Amino acid sequence: MTPYRAIAFSGSLRDGSSNTALVRMAQRLAPPQLAVDIIDWLDQLPWMNPDLEPDPPAILQQWWTALRDADALIVGMPEYNWSPTPLAKNALDWATRPPDDRAIAGTAVAFLSAAGRGGGANAQANLTTILGYLGAHMVEEPPVRLSSVADRLRADGTTDDPEIEEAVRAKMEAVVEALRARDAAATDTAPEA
């Protein structure tokens, strides 16, 4: 079977970022049915400005194409002041455009967070609600909201903590299950030939 295709990005630009490490871990631990490509150019997107939509710059078209070609989107989601980072928010706002043909519609979306005390729950919550409303398939369970784990993650996405690996592995398996359920639902509703 051809694997499902996921793209993944980190909402942190920081050298040694825990969330970039989680994205690399997700790529490494994803089951064979899910091929994960990491993209690292979303900081080049323009700030959200609907004036750009009639003649979208090449990088925005590249983002929309990457989303439309993917079955799933994995986001390493840090939390700044109870919110997603500007990079993540901007990329995801663009993902909800254009309004009559949202690039993220139909995509399975999974958040992985390494943050402070709350583990990124606030950053995940608001976007989970709105992206689901706008047509993404939010893979909420099992949550990956890791608190104060920076000293247990290496930049290459490895760790000596089996619980972190298990959490990320389970999330990637949940993404595959969500895509299978999506496909099964589409088959059930397809008109008979």
Contact set with ligand FMN (CB under 6 A): 12, 14, 17-19, 78-82, 114-118, 150
Q: Which is nearer to ligand FMN, 61 or 147 (CB)?
A: 147
Read off the tokens for 16: 């040694």
CB of 8 to ligand FMN, least distance (A): 13
Least Å distance between CB 14 and ligand FMN?
4
| Closest among 85, 109, 74 to 12, alpha carbons compared | 85
CB 26 → ligand FMN: shortest distance, Å?
Answer: 14
CA atoms within 13 A on the CB side of 183: 9
**Contact criterion met (CB below 8 Å) for 144 and 111:** yes
Residue nearest to ligand FMN (CB): 116
Residue nearer to ligand FMN on the CB measure, 114 or 167 = 114
How far is Cα of residue 85 from the mean position of the Cα atoms in its chain?
13
Q: Is 80 or 106 the residue whose CB approaches ligand FMN more closely?
A: 80
- Beta bridge partners, 150, equal none
Instruction: Using the minimum distance from each CB to ligand FMN, give the nearer residue, 41 or 133.
Output: 41
Asked if residue 179 lies in contact with residue 4, where contact means CB atoms within 8 angstroms, the answer is: yes
Report in angstroms how near the CB of residue 63 gets to ligand FMN at its nearest: 21
Rounded Cα gap, residues 44 and 94, in angstroms: 12
- How many angstroms separate the Cα of 111 from the Cα of each of 42, 67, 136, 187, 188? 16, 15, 12, 27, 28
Closest to ligand FMN by CB, 18 vs 96, is: 18
Least distance from ligand FMN to the Cβ atom of residue 73, Å: 17
